[in-house]
Structure 1
Amino acid sequence: MNASPDLNQAKPLTIAVTGLNANDNPGPGLAVIRALRDGFGENLRIIGLAYETLEPAIYMHNQVDKTYRIPYPTAGVNALKERLKHIQAIEQIDVLIPNFDAELFNFIKLEKDLLGIGIHSFLPTHKQLEQRDKVNLSAFGKQNNFNVPADEVIFSASEIDVSTERFGFPLMVKGKFYEAYTVTNLADAHIAFYKLQAKWGLPIIVQKFIKGIEINIAGLGDGKGNAISVIPMRKLYITEKGKAWAGITIEDKKLIELAKDFAKATNWKGGFELEVMKEDNGDLYIMEVNPRFPAWVYLTAAAGQNQPKVLVDLAMNRPIEEFESYKAGKMFVRYAWDNIVDVEEFQKLSAFGEL
Structure 2
Amino acid sequence: MTADRYANLCIGITGLNANDNPGPGIAVIRALKAGLGNNIRIIGLSYESMEPGIYMHELVNKTYQIPYPTAGTAALLERISYINEQEKLDLIIPNFDSELYNFIRISAQLQQMGIRTYLPSHEQLALREKVNLGDFGKKHGFNVPADRKLFRIDDLKKAKEDLNFPLMIKGKFYEAYVAYTMDQAIKAFHQLSATWGHPVIAQQHIKGTEINIAALGDGNGNNISIIPMRKLYITDKGKAWAGVTIEDPKLIDLANQFAKATNWRGGYELEIMRDADDNLFILEINPRFPAWIYLTAAAGQNQPEALVKMAFGEMPEPMNEYQVGKLFIRYSWDHVVDIVDFQQISARGEL
Name the TM-score class by shorter chain. over 0.9
Q: Give 1:242's match in structure 2, choosing from 238, 242, 260.
A: 238
TM superposition score normalised by structure 2: 0.98
Question: 1:8, CA displacement in angstroms?
Answer: 2.6
What corresponds to 1:88 in structure 2? 84
Pairing partner for 1:138 from 134, 137, 141: 134
Q: What is the SS of the residue equivalent to 1:27?
A: coil
1:41-56 to 2 correspondences below 5 Å: 41-56=37-52
Residue 175 of structure 1 aligns with which residue? 171
CA-CA distance at 1:130 after TM superposition: 0.3
CA distance in 2, matches of 1:107, 1:240: 31
Distance 2:303 2:239 in 1: 20
Q: Counterpart in 2 of 1:335? A: 331
Q: Spell out the pairing of 1:252-267 with structure 2 (5 A cutoff).
A: 252-267=248-263
SS at match of 2:229: strand
**Structure 1 pair 224–341 and aligned structure 2 pair: CA distance change class (3 A):** same
C-alpha spacing 1:11/1:182, structure 2 compared with 1 (3 Å): closer
Q: 1:67 & 1:272 partners in 2: Cα distance?
A: 25
Q: Is 1:106 equivalent to 2:102 in the alignment?
A: yes
Query: In 1, distance between residues paired with 2:7 and 2:313?
Result: 19
Superposition map of 1:24-173 within 5 A: 24-173=20-169
Q: Does 1:284 align with 2:264?
A: no
1:340-351 matches, cutoff 5 A: 340-351=336-347
Q: Which amino acid aligns with 1:106?
A: N
In structure 2, the residue matched to 1:326 is: 322
Q: Which moved more, 1:190-199 or 1:6-15?
A: 6-15
The percent of aligned pairs where both chains have the same amino acid is 59
Letter in 1 for 2:303: Q
* Partner amino acid, structure 2, of 1:252: D
Deviation, 1:332, is: 0.4
Give CA deviations for 1:113-133 in whole Å, capped at 9, x if unaligned.
001001001000000000000
Partner Cα separation in structure 1 for residue 245 and residue 200 of structure 2? 32
Structure 1 residues 21 and 159: alpha-carbon distance in aligned structure 2, compared to 1, 3 A threshold: same
3-state SS in 1 of match to 2:270:
strand
- Partner of 1:21: helix, strand, or coil? coil
The answer on whether the counterparts of 1:7 and 1:43 sit within 8 Å (CA) in structure 2 is no
Measure the CA separation in 2 of the matches of 1:166 and 1:143: 22
Secondary structure at the aligned position of 2:344 is classed as helix
Counterpart contact for 2:210–2:231, Cα < 8 Å: yes
The amino acid that maps onto 1:222 is: D
Distance change >3 Å, CA 150–CA 83, structure 1 → 2: same
CA distance in 2 between counterparts of 1:206 and 1:271 reads 26
Output the amino acid matched with 1:112.
A
Once the two structures are superposed, residues 135-160 of structure 1 have per-residue CA deviations (whole angstroms, 9 ceiling, x without a partner) of: 00000000000000110111111211
Tell me if structure 2 keeps the 8 A contact 1:169–1:184: yes
Task: Tell me the secondary structure at the aligned position of residue 46 of structure 1.
Answer: strand
In the alignment, residue 12 of structure 1 is paired with which amino acid? Answer: N
Distance in 2, Cα, partners of 1:162 & 1:291: 30
> 1:42 offset after TM fit, Å?
2.4
Equivalent residues of 2:149, 2:155 under 8 A apart: no
Q: Matched residues in 1 for 2:134 and 2:38: separation?
A: 45
Report deviation, 1:7.
4.4
- Tell me how large the CA RMSD over aligned residues is: 1.1
CA deviation string 1:25-48 (max 9, x = no partner): 100000000000000012211000
Relative to structure 1, the CA distance from residue 212 to residue 11 in structure 2 (aligned partners, 3 Å threshold; closer, same or farther) is: closer
CA distance in 1, matches of 2:302, 2:188: 37
Amino acid at match of 1:134: K
State the Cα distance separating 1:90 from its structure 2 match.
1.1
Give the Cα separation in 2 of the matches to 1:175 and 1:310.
31
Paired residue secondary structure (1:161): helix
| 1:14 paired residue number | 10
Give unmatched runs, 5+ long, in structure 2. Answer: none
**Aligned-pair distance for 1:280?**
1.4
SS at match of 1:337: coil
Residue identity in the other structure for 2:86 = I
How high is the TM-score relative to the length of structure 1? 0.97
SS at match of 1:80: helix
Q: How far 1:319 moved relative to its partner?
A: 3.6
Contact 1:7 1:13 in 2 (8 A): no
Number of residue pairs matched by the alignment: 351
Describe how 1:177-196 pairs up with structure 2 within 5 A: 177-196=173-192
Q: Is 1:209 paired with 2:205?
A: yes
